[in-house]
Chain A
Amino acid sequence: MTLAEFATTHGLKRIGARPPFFKYIAEVWQRRGFAWMLSNFTNQATHARTRLGGWWNILLPTIQAGTYGLIFGLILGSSRPHNFLPFLFTGVFLFSFMSGCFQSGAGSITGNSGLVKSLTFPRALLPLSTVIQQFINLWPQIALLLITILITQQSLTVSWLLFPVVILLMTSFSFGLALVAARLNAQLRDLGKLIPFVIRIAFYVSGVFFSVDKVLGKWPEVMAVFKFNPFYDFIELARGLLVNGYAPTTELWLLCIGWAVLLPIVGIVFFWKAEEVYGRDD
């Protein structure tokens, strides 16, 4: 009898083996409290050494939106999109949520090596907790956005009721994004260096501060490809619901639902496949 047979006949299980997919999902779900608490604590720790503490969660997006409003408002001049401030704020806040999930998701394994190296738990909890953290920080921004829109548009429409659905779809998509980024960065640290550039490029091509339809209107075939940019889809759909003068098309709804279903599935499978590799000292 070999040692392996000896072990299995006594009911011992191989340690460190990646659990089957659905068992893995169940384990993640069972320990969701850990992800929730980790995101809360990380959030507190981020601002713990500043005087203003949690107020930064509101101050930062306000400053960010103010800066972009000023700069793009001046640069774009008369070519500003219609209803500029609500247009810009929707773009900036939604984009910063998605790119934030991407960036912090990428660092979720590498940046928590203390946890990864000392405790065994399903590693997908780490990207999950960064998405929860971003989600918590999104609320003050949403509040700021809605207040801005209320002030500038002076109206409240029924379509606002669908806005939470967009947030939900966008969060689901971002979770998938965080999972993919987490594995890529954990296995190939070099990619981490490129993340700021990827985000910058995405910022400029997702119609955050300009109207894509206006710019690409002359080239319908480019536009047909461009429509698949998920950042653009979510921002444009939210604008359709909130900002006067923009409409949420069925096509946008379908694209957003597609991204929100597809990416988390791809992400979790992709992440789970490398579960045994995370936290190795190399």
Chain B
Amino acid sequence: MTDETAPSAPATEERQPVVVVDGVDIIYQVYASGKKANKYNGVSKKGSRGQLRQVHAVKNVSFTVYKGETVGIIGTNGSGKSSLLRAVAGLTQPANGAVYASARPVLLGVGAVLMPALSGEKNILLGGLAMGYSKKETEELAPAITEFAGLEEFIDLPMRTYSSGMSARLRFAIAASRSHDILIIDEALSVGDQQFRKRSEARMREMRDNAGTVFLVSHSMKSILDTCSRVIWLEKGVLTMDGDPREVCNAYNEYTGVKTIDD
């Protein structure tokens, strides 16, 4: 399925590539923690340090994304979706291959807790500054971010006191406060409630219409179908299918044994 040569641009319109993923391999070197549990005595004593294991999370994946596309990434748990997008964001170095982009992609992930001991307000300031805004810009944006996240009442409390949904909302609001050329959203919306999901999907469409490019990882086929113009299916680190959302989702559902496309 992987395409080693560049896709020829369609003759009808000049499409501008914004992200090129070129033969990316991601390999993790992990110390396995000891031996597998032994069925007689729980854990075997041999080798407490464990052995170095190679986990090949993403295998030779290539694709090109054009300006204004919203790309859904689907696949079962552990299929390499997050690893791939972390490489696109520049947070993980691929073992082979490379990612090229027109601007620095901004990743918004589930695990991204900035500073749990600090209030939501301070996390907004830190997040803004880390993304390269000036202090003044960030301070001006802060009220809008708070409002979008719907956290006016709690914004002065430490982030460790937030529920997972609340902190996901805040992180989304921080990342989406400005239009980014390339925004990557990694399952961050799945914890939000219905009302927030509507708001954030509207925001994503708005970004796409402003010629931004959005990557969205989700297990909700409904979210994917509602927002994406293209879907990539990763399975065991291999790019299995890439194309029209409905087609790919149908094939994926067939693979996983789910009959209907629903939420």
Q: Interface residues, chain A, CB within 8 Å of chain B? A: 1-8, 10-16, 30-31, 33-34, 37-38, 41-42, 44-45, 48, 114-115, 117-121, 276-277, 279-282
Contacts and interface: CB of A to CB of B under 8 A. Distances in A.
Contacts of B30: 282
22 contacts: A2-B5, A2-B22, A3-B6, A3-B64, A6-B17, A7-B17, A8-B100, A10-B102, A11-B102, A12-B101, A13-B100, A16-B99, A114-B111, A114-B112, A114-B115, A117-B111, A118-B107, A118-B111, A119-B130, A280-B93, A282-B29, A282-B30
Contact of A3 (B5, B101, B135): B5
Interface string B5-44: 1100000000011111011000011100000000000000
B130 A115 contact: yes
A3 B16 contact: no
B56 to A, nearest CB: 14
The secondary structure that dominates the B interface is mixed
Contacts of A15: 87-90, 98-101, 104-105
B165 interface: no
A16 B30 CA distance: 22
B244 to A, nearest CB: 22
Interface residues of B, number: 52
A118 B82 CA distance: 12
B129 A34 contact: yes
Given A118-B113, A120-B104, 9 more contacts: A2-B5, A3-B62, A6-B6, A7-B17, A13-B100, A34-B130, A41-B122, A119-B112, A121-B130
Interface centre among A3, A5, A121, A281 (most CB of B within 10 A): A3
Most A CB contacts (10 A, CB to CB) among B18, B28, B91, B113 go to: B91
A24 to B, nearest CB: 14
Contacts of B87: 15-16
B125 interface: yes
Nearest to A112: B115
Interface of B: 4-6, 16-20, 22-23, 28-30, 62, 64, 87-93, 98-102, 104-105, 107-109, 111-118, 122, 125-127, 129-132, 134-135, 158, 171
A279 B109 CA distance: 15
A2 B92 CA distance: 23
Contact of A12 (B23, B102, B107): B102
Contacts of B125: 37
Nearest to A46: B117
A281 B92 contact: yes
Given A45-B118, A48-B158, A115-B114, A37 B126 contact: yes
B126 A14 contact: no
Contact of B89 (A7, A34, A120, A280): A120
Nearest to B94: A16
A33 B93 CA distance: 27
A120 B118 contact: no
Contact of A41 (B23, B92, B115): B115
B92 A280 contact: yes
B28 A281 contact: yes
A281 B101 CA distance: 23
A14 B98 contact: yes
A189 B90 CA distance: 23
Nearest to B7: A6
